[in-house]
Amino acid sequence: MSVEAQVSARTFLFLLLLLALGLLVLIIRPFWSALFMAAVLAVTFHPWYERLTAKLNGHRKVAATLITLCLVIALVLPVVTLGVVAVREAAQALDSMHQILSEEGVDGLIHRVPQPIQDWIWRVWDQLPARQRNAQFIFNFEGRAAGEIPRLVGQIGQMFAQTLLMVVALFFMLLDGGRLLGWMNLVSPLQKRQMRELFTEFRRVSAIVLLGSVTTAGAQSAAALVGYLIAHAPGAYFLTLVTFFFALVPIVGAGAFSFAVAVFLYLQGHLYPAIFLAAWSVLVVGMVDNVVKPMVIKGGMEMHGAIVFFALIGGFAAFGLVGLVLGPLSVTLLLAVLRIYQRDFAARQSPAA
């Protein structure tokens, strides 16, 4: 084959590669977060999977099934339970509000508002023109509620679909993860040692971020539970479960949720328990996140604590909950690539130059 024919073949092959990558991005885009979280969990729990496979005399499917079921019970079921409870409570609240509005009007609804803010709502309500009251308010409220319900149902359905895809992907990644890595070693232009180093960084950072997030959320939830019990908050253990999931979100945090519970206690007329819980939320629950998470995450990463912090916040702002892992992982991947290039390529070019 002539040189021109080889150049044309390579150019055409490169265009086909770009086309295939573009199509692959479009295919994966609707559920990329589910695949990414499945990869993170599979890499993190791969050593456990290997040890369990050895104890089961090489039955990989059984080991993958058991690991997947344990993760579903530990991670997925609490989230699904919390979502079902939240949807049920929201539906009951909307039904109750609709019944009150239809029987007693807006006045009956305001009478059920906590006393500390009831006078303020009455003043705002009295300033509205008469034509905007009662019937108009009820019509607008029901219209907005009817418009939000389909959107809420769609989001819940999407969450269940993403969760199911993540579970299925996790099972197959545990089962065939070794083959996938072997294929990547074959098609990658990097050496096996370099691919192994990148994979090790991925597994280490994924495990550290997950461990740091879960450990911090558990510590904050335990601290919040103490505050709930002392302040006699209603449903303290359920509030603790909700606090745990809010603790996984860095911008919101467990302290903000427990502070909201303190505001609720104040609106219910419990002044001193509300003051105590508000102070406990700021001084204890909020400080746990600032102490525990940097210690756990920074202890396993060769990065400054400020870089870890902004990687978490920036990742969450860009990608949502998935960004809590993707943010630190992106920074660590960049550092690993630069380190490999400096060691294996730049060092060889310097003497020649």
Burial of 40 (0-12, 13-18, 19+ CB in 10 A): buried
In whole angstroms, give the CA distance from residue 332 to residue 302: 8
pLDDT at position 280 is: 92
pLDDT at position 41 is: 86
pLDDT over 80 (residue 51)? yes
pLDDT at position 225 is: 92
pLDDT over 70 (residue 130)? no
CB 53 within 8 A of CB 174: no
Tell me the average pLDDT across 326-344.
81
pLDDT over 60 (residue 211)? yes
pLDDT tens track for 86-106: 777 777 777 777 677 666 666
Tell me the average pLDDT across 116-135.
63
More confident residue, 81 or 69: 69
Tell me the average pLDDT across 18-43.
84
Tokens 């969760």 identify what position? 163
pLDDT band per the 50, 70, 90 thresholds, residue 229: very high
> CA angle, 218 as apex, 217 and 221 as ends, to 5°?
85
Tell me the average pLDDT across 228-244.
88
End-to-end CA distance of the chain: 35
pLDDT over 70 (residue 47)? yes
pLDDT over 80 (residue 164)? yes
pLDDT at position 196 is: 81
pLDDT over 80 (residue 176)? yes
CB 351 within 8 A of CB 232: no
pLDDT at position 66 is: 92
pLDDT band per the 50, 70, 90 thresholds, residue 117: low
pLDDT band per the 50, 70, 90 thresholds, residue 226: very high
pLDDT band per the 50, 70, 90 thresholds, residue 242: confident
Tell me the average pLDDT across 289-310.
68
CB 221 within 8 A of CB 247: yes
Tell me the average pLDDT across 17-39.
84
pLDDT at position 43 is: 84
pLDDT over 80 (residue 80)? no
CB 214 within 8 A of CB 48: no
pLDDT at position 329 is: 82
pLDDT at position 230 is: 92
pLDDT band per the 50, 70, 90 thresholds, residue 339: confident
Locate the domains of the chain by residue range. Answer: 33-173, 191-344
Q: Which amino acid is at 136?
A: Q
In whole angstroms, give the CA distance from residue 67 to residue 49: 7
pLDDT tens track for 131-162: 455 555 665 666 666 666 677 667 777 777 88
pLDDT over 80 (residue 48)? yes
Q: What are phi and psi of 40, to 5 degrees?
A: -65, -45
pLDDT at position 71 is: 85
The CB density around residue 25, as the number of other CB atoms within 10 Å, is 10
The CB density around residue 345, as the number of other CB atoms within 10 Å, is 10
Task: Express as a percent the part of the chain with pLDDT over 70.
Answer: 75
The CB density around residue 160, as the number of other CB atoms within 10 Å, is 13
pLDDT at position 228 is: 92
